[in-house]
């Protein structure tokens, strides 16, 4: 997978022109598009999608042909629930870099998350026919979760392509399962996340996602421990207050009355 070629994502900015390149201090090497793509990836896998969007947008402003940056913007918009904008950005992206399997997969993802499964399946078919890849298989798996088909087969295909120790692939699979918002899909998320966590124990992003999954399964003490691991590994990251509060085990009276 090679970091999804930096997520194998990328878009234009929202309603404004791309931000200018960061000012260069005397003697400092000018920062290119890849620098901002890498920063976007860092924010994306910490679920800080607004910040990721800004970094990918800066990359596009520096290099309009940076496919990864266009895909990163569209993926970030989708995760933010900005599905209409994601669709607009798909049009902008394909006008510049053409239709890639990843862009088609992201279009399928946005359609699926708005409940338009006919269009989602059509775009997903096109993404696989155009060459497939890791992200197209992950998106196909998420679509299959909604129709109770064999999503795990699609996730296994993505894992085989990425390599079984690739934490970003596992992260995206688990995120897809978490978005499906059922106990069964949360259990599937753990199935793909935990083996990779064993091989990437220093990855705080995985513990962050693990905590969210455990909260879905009502495993508050385990979620609290996962957040503590995340905080220890990512000391430059502030865990959202609502997530920390949700992981606090309920008191006696709350347990007594089933809250």
For residue range 36-89, list pLDDT tens digits in order.
999 999 999 999 999 999 999 999 999 999 999 999 999 999 999 999 999 999
Q: What are the tokens at 61?
A: 């402003």
Inter-residue contact 215 to 176 (CB < 8 Å): no
CA distance 171 to 243: 18
Q: What are the tokens at 38?
A: 């890498």
pLDDT of 8 reads 46
Domain ranges of the chain: 201-259
Render pLDDT for 95-139 as a digit per residue (tens, 0 to 9): 999 999 999 999 999 999 999 999 999 999 999 999 989 999 999
Cα 228 versus chain centre, distance: 22
pLDDT of 19 reads 43
Global pTM value: 0.86
User: Got the DSSP string for the chain?
Assistant: -HHHHHHT-B---SSSPPPPPPPPPTTPPPP-HHHHHHHHHHHHTTT-HHHHHHHHHHHHHH-TT-HHHHHHHHHHHHHTT-HHHHHHHHHHHHHHH---HHHHHHHHHHHHHTT-HHHHHHHHHHHHHTT--HHHHHHHHHHHHHTTS-HHHHHHHHHHHH-TT-HHHHHHHHHHHHHH-SHHHHHHHHHHHHHHHHH-TT-HHHHHHHHHHHHHTT-HHHHHHHHHHHHHH-TT----HHHHHHHSPP-HHHHHTT-
Inter-residue contact 120 to 112 (CB < 8 Å): yes
pLDDT of 29 reads 72
| Residue 2 predicted with pLDDT over 50 | no
Render pLDDT for 212-228 as a digit per residue (tens, 0 to 9): 999 999 999 999 999 99
């Amino acid at each position: 997978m090679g970091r999804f070629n930096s997520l194998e994502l990328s878009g234009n900015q929202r309603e404004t022109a791309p931000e200018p390149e960061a000012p260069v201090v005397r003697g400092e090497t000018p920062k290119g598009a890849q620098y901002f793509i890498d920063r976007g990836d860092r924010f994306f896998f910490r679920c800080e999608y607004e910040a990721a969007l800004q970094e990918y947008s800066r990359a596009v402003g520096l290099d309009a042909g940076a496919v990864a940056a266009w895909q990163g913007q569209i993926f970030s918009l989708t995760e933010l629930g900005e599905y209409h904008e994601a669709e607009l950005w798909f049009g902008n992206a394909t006008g510049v870099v053409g239709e890639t399997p990843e862009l088609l997969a992201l279009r399928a993802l946005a359609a699926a998350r708005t409940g338009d499964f006919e269009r989602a399946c059509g775009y997903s078919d096109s993404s696989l026919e155009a060459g497939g890849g890791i992200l197209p298989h992950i998106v196909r798996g998420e679509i299959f979760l909604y129709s109770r088909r064999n999503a795990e087969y699609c996730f296994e295909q993505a894992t085989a392509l990425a390599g079984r120790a690739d934490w970003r692939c596992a992260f995206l699979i688990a995120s897809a399962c978490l978005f499906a918002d059922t106990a069964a899909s949360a259990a599937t998320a753990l199935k793909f996340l935990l083996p990779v966590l064993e091989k990437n124990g220093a990855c705080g992003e995985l513990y962050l996602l693990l905590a969210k999954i455990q909260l879905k399964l009502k495993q508050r003490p385990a979620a609290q421990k996962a957040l503590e691991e995340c905080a220890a590994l990512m000391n430059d990251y502030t865990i959202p207050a609502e997530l920390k509060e949700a992981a606090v085990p309920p008191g006696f009276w709350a347990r007594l009355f089933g809250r």
